[in-house]
Amino acid sequence: MEKEIKAIRGFSDILPEETPTWRFVEEEARRTLEGFGFQEIRIPTLERTELFVRSIGESTDVVQKEMYTFQDKSGQWVTLRPEATASIIRAYVENRLWAKDPEARLYFIGPMFRYERPQKGRLRQFHQIDAEVLGPDHPMVDAEIIGLLMELLKRVGLEDLRLELNSLGCPGCRIPFKEEVQKFLRQNEDKLCPDCQRRMELNPLRVFDCKVQSCKELLKEAPILKGFLCESCKSHFEKVMELLEEIKIPYQVNRFLVRGLDYYTRTVFEVIAQGLGAQNAVAAGGRYDGLVKELGGPDIPGIGFAIGMERLLLLLPRKELDFPVKLFIASLGEEPRKVAFHLGWKLKKEGISVWMEYEDKSLKAQLRRADKLSIPFVLILGEDELKQGKFILRNMKKGTQQEIPLSEALEKLKEIIPKNS
């Protein structure tokens, strides 16, 4: 026996018993997002590395440590998509969607790739539901997309959630704040973890993302961004909070919330769920008003969110697997099997799922297989039935059966057996 080949660490199979829950969440997401006026976009898995360096930020952990980056056969540097927003904005700019209408509501559902230490709810190939609004920068848009996120999570069945908000301000009011934070960190350099000592020089705001407890304790004494916000950013954030209160979306302001990507401006948010351990953010997002311009488009604001599918599904009960096959054809003998095969093919083309055995097995064995698969109807055809020109249709749940003429079988079964939805 050859050596077994296993999946790469951090890359997980989604098995048939798991897919009903995945499909439920994806379908509910599509219904909800499209009900809020969003259109689906599908983006490539592989992009030029430059896209993520320019958008996410060269000094971020994602770019420095986590991206799957390599040279293709032409020597070009390419990267497996680590997040969706940059790719969606690239598509928006490249295809000049802004010229048709500057305002766009786009969503994407699919896999992302980051080289991280696999743990509960965090894989190297993970899946996200991503939604973006491009065009208006009014606080009402911030409140709406946050409200949409909470409504979507509620519709898929999540409870006991905590919404956390902060404002990162604009680039203008962040400059003096960064300087003050950097000054504070240099004064306390010996108390920082090695990662934060590096972040201190490259991008000091990244230290607020640190999960090391000693750094978290130290940062309680750090300068607060709220005190550096310009009047415009302060007013914007206050209006967002007022609007959330008006539409009855509870929230908490978290002054340490900065998000891990450089493109964020003004409103940022995370949704925290109980029962996920240290990695407890099930969804997050924020405003990125300069990103479209940074990637070569016009100066069009944007805001969006992403939901982590793996983390979300850890919190939901598994949906029961509904085996799609509704009819089992049990045939006995070569000639009956040939007749059964042709009937089964016609039924499949009509949208009725059929299972049949192609090997010689007893009727008892075939009935046992149908019962094991929870197939509700069994159509029986043996040599005797073939001579008499009839099938026997057995209802496995009720334990009843009826005779159906061979010549009428297709039309009769179309009336009795439910089609695949």
How far apart are the C-alpha atoms of 115 and 80, rounded to whole Å?
Answer: 10
- Is 217 domain-assigned? no
β-pairing verdict for 265-273 and 161-167: antiparallel
pLDDT surpassing 80 at residue 258: no
Domain that holds residue 409: 327-416
**pLDDT (mean) for 55-60:** 79
DSSP string, 116-152: ---BTTB-SEEEEEEEEEES---HHHHHHHHHHHHHH
The tens digit of pLDDT for each residue in 63-75 reads: 888 899 999 999 9
Same domain, 149 and 248: yes
What total number of domains does the chain contain? 2
C-beta of residue 207 within 8 angstroms of C-beta of residue 199: yes
User: Domain ends where: 314, 339, 357?
Assistant: 314
CATH of the domain at 121: 3.30.930.10
Please give the single-letter amino acid code of residue 101. D
- Is 220 domain-assigned? no
CA atoms within 13 Å, Cβ hemisphere of 36: 23
C-beta of residue 186 within 8 angstroms of C-beta of residue 200: yes
Residue of higher predicted confidence among 417 and 77: 77
Output DSSP code: residue 119.
B
Same domain, 292 and 388: no
C-beta of residue 266 within 8 angstroms of C-beta of residue 145: no
The tens digit of pLDDT for each residue in 81-125 reads: 999 999 999 999 999 999 998 899 999 999 999 998 887 778 999
pLDDT band at 199 (very low <50, low <70, confident <90, very high): confident
How far apart are the C-alpha atoms of 329 and 353, rounded to whole Å?
Answer: 11
The tens digit of pLDDT for each residue in 158-179 reads: 888 999 999 988 888 878 888 8
Same domain, 270 and 338: no
Provide the greatest CA pair distance for the chain. 95
- Is 180 domain-assigned? no
Same domain, 277 and 162: yes
What's the token pair of residue 249? Answer: 């979306």
Output DSSP code: residue 66.
I
- Is 254 domain-assigned? yes
Same domain, 136 and 248: yes
How many angstroms separate the Cα of 392 from the Cα of each of 268, 326, 363, 377, 404?
A: 64, 16, 12, 10, 6
Lowest mean pLDDT among 29-38, 133-142, 211-220: 211-220
* Structure confidence at residue 335 (pLDDT): 93
